[in-house]
Amino acid sequence: MKFIAILMGSKSDYEIMQECAKILENFKIKYELIITSAHRSPQRTKDYIKEAEKRGAQVFIAAAGMAAHLAGAVAAYTTKPVLGVPMQGNALASMDSLFSTVQMPSGIPVGTLAIGKAGAVNAAYLAVQILALNDEKLEKALKQDRKDKEEKLIADSKSVEVLL
Q: Which residues are documented as binding site for substrate?
A: 10, 13, 40
Handedness of CA 54, 58, 64, 69 (dihedral sign): positive
Residue ranges of the binding site: 10, 13, 40
Phi, psi of 105 (to 5 degrees): -70, 155
DSSP for 53-74, please give it: HHHTEEEEEEEE-TT--HHHHH
DSSP for 72-129, please give it: HHHHHH-SS-EEEEEPP-SGGGGHHHHHHHH-PPTTS--EE--STHHHHHHHHHHHHH
Q: How far is CA 6 from CA 64, 80, 154, in A?
A: 11, 13, 33
